[in-house]
């Protein structure tokens, strides 16, 4: 059984003026998401600036999200690392804190061979009992998990159940679905490709767009799954210009700016991320005004 179907939000991590995690604001953002039909909260992912959180902050954010959500929707904790032992530690602690599932990215910087990826994910999965969604985002990690590797892991490791595919390669999505015979929970990792991924048997998206349009992103997926392909497609096409604006600079720079423009200021970004360029901010503002 899938951890979730629909649109899960890769939620931002808000900071105060001292660059400390703002838990009150995080609570507000979680409540906004749940009130607007988000199907899952993904905490401490790329959009949550997990790479700049200390281990203590990382785990406290997971614990806070689990407690705040209180089983209303699944909470999936980002626990990946380029160090296998660190990923195991974060995964085990997330399980203790009550997360419903884990999102584990491929190793970055040191990367890995396909053999290394199998060893990495297998070791993490065997250290916990939670279901695991692998996260393939070669544009950030420099490491592409090949379809054959995905199929091997899903077949051989019981609690590896899904993948967030953010390669932007629809042919790769198709090959994964073919090699696994559809026996995988496929989530789009690219907001501009939600409907194409659904058309190949995907069951949802782990989304940046959901931070600012949670109901619409939920509807885009659910309408497709319920058979209203035209309505789903129309939503996908409607939001393409805004999605493009949300990725005109490194994520999560634009989405944090968008939340601020919407009156839900999540505070600053931690360096090395910096505030949005004025021209890009105007572009984002113009697209927000259209929806």
Tell me the Cα Rg of the chain: 18
Which listed residue (25, 63, 68, 164) is catalytic?
Answer: 164
Distance CA 30, CA 214 (A): 11
First to last CA, the chain: 35
Contacts of 76 (CB under 8 A, 6+ apart): 3, 4, 8, 40, 41, 42, 43, 99, 100, 101, 102, 103, 133, 206
| 96 CB neighbour count, 10 Å cutoff | 12
Q: Which residue has the tokens 């505030």?
A: 275
Which listed residue (135, 187, 224, 239) is catalytic?
Answer: 135
Question: If DSSP codes are grouped into helix, strand and coil, which group holds residue 212?
Answer: coil
Do the Cβ atoms of 46 and 210 come closer than 8 Å? no
Q: Please give the helix or strand (H or E) that residue 231 lies within, else none.
A: helix 229-246
Per the DSSP assignment, residues forming a β-bridge with 207 are 9
Do the Cβ atoms of 38 and 208 come closer than 8 Å? no
Q: Which two three-digit tokens encode residue 152?
A: 């091997």
Per the DSSP assignment, residues forming a β-bridge with 40 are 8
Q: Which two three-digit tokens encode residue 11?
A: 């939620």
Whether 238 is catalytic: no
Whether 224 is catalytic: no
Distance CA 113, CA 238 (A): 39
Do the Cβ atoms of 106 and 141 come closer than 8 Å? yes
Q: Active-site residues: which are they?
A: 135, 164
């Amino acid at each position: 059984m899938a951890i979730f179907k629909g649109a899960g939000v890769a939620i931002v991590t808000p900071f105060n003026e001292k660059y400390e995690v703002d838990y009150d604001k995080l609570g507000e953002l979680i409540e906004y998401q749940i009130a607007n039909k988000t199907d899952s909260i993904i905490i401490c992912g790329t959009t949550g600036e997990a790479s700049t959180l200390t281990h203590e902050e990382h785990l406290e954010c997971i614990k806070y999200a689990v407690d705040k959500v209180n089983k209303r929707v699944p909470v999936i904790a980002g626990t990946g690392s380029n160090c296998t032992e660190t990923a195991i530690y974060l995964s085990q602690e997330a399980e203790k804190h009550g997360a419903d599932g884990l999102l584990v990215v491929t190793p970055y910087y040191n990367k890995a061979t396909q053999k290394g990826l199998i060893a990495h994910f297998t070791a993490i999965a065997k250290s916990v009992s939670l279901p695991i969604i692998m996260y393939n985002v070669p544009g950030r990690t420099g490491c592409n998990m090949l379809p054959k590797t995905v199929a091997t892991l899903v077949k051989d490791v019981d609690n590896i159940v899904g993948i967030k595919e953010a390669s932007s390669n629809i042919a790769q999505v198709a090959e994964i679905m073919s090699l696994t015979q559809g026996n995988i929970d496929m989530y789009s990792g690219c907001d501009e490709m939600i409907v194409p991924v659904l058309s190949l048997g995907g069951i949802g998206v782990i989304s940046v767009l959901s931070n600012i349009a949670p109901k619409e992103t939920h509807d885009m997926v659910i309408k497709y799954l319920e058979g209203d392909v035209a309505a789903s497609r129309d939503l996908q096409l409607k939001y393409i210009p805004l999605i493009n604006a949300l990725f005109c600079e490194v994520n999560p720079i634009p989405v944090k700016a968008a939340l601020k423009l919407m009156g839900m200021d999540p505070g600053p970004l931690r360096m090395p991320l910096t505030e949005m360029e004025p021209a890009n901010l105007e572009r984002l503002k113009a697209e927000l005004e259209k929806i």
